Structures are given as C-alpha cells and as structure tokens.
Amino acid sequence: MGRYVIRRLIQAIPVLLGATLFIFAIVFALPGDPIAALAGEKRQDPNIVMIMRDQYHLNDPLLLQYWYYISGIFLRGDFGKTFAGVPITQLMAGKFQVTLNLALVALVMEAVIGVLLGLWAALRRGQAIDTMILAATLLLISVPPLVTGFVLQLWLGVWLKQAVGTEIFPIAGISAGLRSYLLPGFVLAGTSIAYLTRLTRTSLVETLRSDYIRTATAKGLSRRRVIGRHGLRNALIPLVTFLGADLGSLMGGAVITETIFNIPGIGLQIYQGVYLREQPIVVGIVTILVLVYIVANLVVDLLYAVLDPRIRYE
C-alpha cells in the first residue's frame, strides 16, 4: 500500500517535466513578440524591446529558455517574474488558495446536490419527479455558465439586495468569506451537478436491479439499509471517479466564473498569462494543476479500495 503510493508519486515526476516542457513550447510557439505587444497599439520603443527581451532571455533558443526556467525552480525555488516585475510565487500563492476554495465549494455542492437529486430520481424512477429532475438537469447542461453567471448575479446579487435592503449574495469579490463563494460555486458546479445527478440515477438504478440487492431484500433488511449500504455504496464508484477528475477541471476551468464574479483566482491568471505570452505564469500554474490532477487521481484510486474491499493495492 505505502509502496503503491510512493510508486505512483515517482511516476508523477516525468509527467510533470513533460507537461511543463510541452506547455512552455506551446506558449513559445504563439506568434508575435510579447514585449512589443505590451504597448498595445503604439509602437514600443525598439531600444526598450531589446533590453527587455534580453532581461527575460527571450532571444535564447527554446531549450535554453526552458533550462533557465526549470533550473530556477529546482535550484533556487524561483518561479521567475512577470513582465511587470512581480514575483510569480507571490502571484500564485494567493490565487491558488482562492481557486481551491472556489473549487471545493463547487465540489461539495456538486456532490451533495448531485447525489441527493440522483438518489431521489432513481428511487422514483418513471414518476413525475424523476422526469422533472431529468428536465432540470437538461436545462442546466444546455445553458452555458456565462449566462447562468450573469443571470444569477443580477437576480440574487443586484435585485435581491435592492428588494431586501441587505446583501445576501455578494456580487463581486471575496471579501465576505464563504458567502462570496456560494453563487460562483454554484455556477461553476452547474453542469457537473447535472451530470452527477444523471450518473447517480443511472448507476443506482443499475445496482438496484442486481442479484445481491434482491438477496439483501429477501434477507429482510430494512429498505434504508438495502439502499444505503448495499445499493448506494456500490453505485458510488463511478461517481468518485467523476468527482476526482472534476476537481482538476473545476480549478483550471474557472475562467468565466472568476471573471463574472471578480474572483482573483488562477483561472483568470492563466488566461492573462496566455494572452500576454508570459510563459513563467502559465507553466507555473499548469505545473501545480498537474500536481492537483495527480494527487486527485491517486485519492480516487485509493477510495475505490475503501468502497469495494475486493480492490487491493500491493
């Protein structure tokens, strides 16, 4: 078990190196001069362009640039600086926290709402409530987060405040603590809630048809125990896989939500990094996202063993 975990972590090293080099090369391949682009539509003084290109090693070949970057991280713990001279570690430190908060709020909402709705639909399969839940999830899937975001912001942020007189859901920023994350968390989790509801429903319906459920019922176990202990637990495996993989995409894919609700997280930062062609920002964030994916996958694999004793890791 311990050995299994260590082996998985060692396997992560080449994945990390490969991913960083890959991202570095992609950003490198984008057309145009990032320094000249800083001046917008005015022509940047050519002297300044040259001096800044030197300063950021932009005249060197790709592999040498990558070496400067990666050796900086491993030898000096230095992720480099942005074109504006801000250390990237400083940029990332606060932002990862914020995005992690947002992603976890979304993940909890997703898990709780998704599983409960799915359970409800599965137990009332074919009845009106089942149809209603399925229709609602269809709506959630088909409306893009850009729309849900602005609509909920206007309804629950602006109009509700104007109607009630006090702020319940903050419109922008994160100054109200957990409360600030509720709306954006829901918007971010939206489509995943819908998928998870459908997944839970299908998985549970499938499980409830199996022989051991019939056996359990025949043994005279209570309905609660049959569904909870024998049905749901077995139905959870695909859900855990989905949730684990989703944590990564929630963290990396929050650009729109973070923009709408003015949340200073990494989604937005990574977008700006790509836009300004600042490799150190993009690669720094992606490296940590890759780590999150690796750890989340590991946790998912270990959770399988918790849910199903037949699965073992030697």
Partner 1 sequence: MRVTKGAQIVAGTALLALAVAACGGGGATTGNPASGGAGDTPVRMELGEPQNLLVPSNTTESEGAEVLAAVFEPLVNYDENKQVVLAAAESIESTDNKVYTIKLKPYTWQDGTPVEAQNYVDAWNYAANQDNAQGAGYFFGRVEGYADLNPGEGKQVTTKEMKGLKAVDNSTLQVTLTAPFSQFKTMLGYTAFYPLPKSAFGADGKVTQEYGEKPIGQGLFKLDKPYKKGTDQAIDLSVYDKFPAKKPTGWTKLQFKLYNSSETAYNDLQADNVDIHDSLPASAISSAKTALGDRYQDQPDAGVGYIGFPLKYSDEYKDVKVREAISMAIDRKTIAETVFTGTRSPADDFINPAIDGYRQGACQACQYNPTKAKEQYAAAKGPAKLELGYNADGGHKEWIEAAANNLRANLGVEVTVKPFEKFANILDDLDAKKYKGMFRMGWAIDYPSAENYLTPIFSTGAIKTGSNYAGYSNKEFDDTVAKGDQAATPEEGLKFYQQADDILIKDLPYIPVYFYRNNSGYSTKVKNVKINLLNQVEWADVEKA
List binders of partner 1 among 124-183 (CB under 8 A).
150, 153-154, 157-158, 161-162, 167, 171-175, 177
Q: What residues between 52 and 81 interact with partner 1 by CB under 8 A?
A: 52, 55
Only one of the segments 13-21, 85-93, 199-207, 230-238 lies at the binding site for partner 1 (rule: CB under 8 A); that segment is: 85-93
Q: Which stretch binds partner 1 (CB under 8 A): 1-9, 69-77, 115-123, 225-233?
A: 1-9
Q: Does 233 bind partner 1 (CB under 8 A)?
A: no
Candidate segments 95-103, 120-128, 215-223, 227-235, binder of partner 1 by CB under 8 A:
95-103
Question: Does position 309 bind partner 1 by CB under 8 A?
Answer: yes
Give dist(CA 220, CA 226) in Å, integer: 9
Cβ-contact 99, 251 below 8 angstroms = yes
Count the residues of the shown chain that bind partner 1, applying the rule CB under 8 A: 72
Among 10, 14, 40, 77, binds partner 1 (CB under 8 A): 40
Distance CA 90, CA 96 (A): 11
The DSSP annotation for 181-207 comes to HHHHHHHHHHHHHHHHHHHHHHHHHHH
Largest CA distance in the chain: 85
Sign of CA dihedral 106, 197, 152, 179: negative
Per CB under 8 A, 100 contacts partner 1? yes
**Binding of partner 1 at residue 219 (CB under 8 A)?**
no
Question: Which 279-298 residues touch partner 1, going by CB under 8 A?
Answer: 295, 298
Distance CA 134, CA 120 (A): 11
Residue with Cβ nearer partner 1 (180 or 192): 180
Query: Which is nearer to partner 1, 216 or 260 (by Cβ)?
Result: 260
Name the minimum Å distance from CB 130 to partner 1. Answer: 32
In 124-166, beta strands by DSSP E: none
Q: Minimum CB separation from partner 1 for residue 307, in Å?
A: 9
* Spatial CB neighbours of 188, under 8 Å, sequence gap ≥ 6: 102, 103, 106, 145, 250, 254, 257
Q: Give min distance, CB of 102 to partner 1, in A.
A: 9
Q: How far is the CB of 186 from partner 1 (least distance, A)?
A: 16
Sign of the CA dihedral with 110 first, then 112, 115, and 118 last: negative
Query: Distance between alpha carbon 183 and the CA centroid of its chain, in Å?
Result: 16
Q: Terminal CA-to-CA distance of the chain, rounded, Å?
A: 5
DSSP class of residue 144?
Answer: -
Which of 261, 279, 280, 294 contacts partner 1 by CB under 8 A? 261
Is residue 229 near partner 1 by the rule CB under 8 A?
no
Query: 40 or 126, CB closer to partner 1?
Result: 40
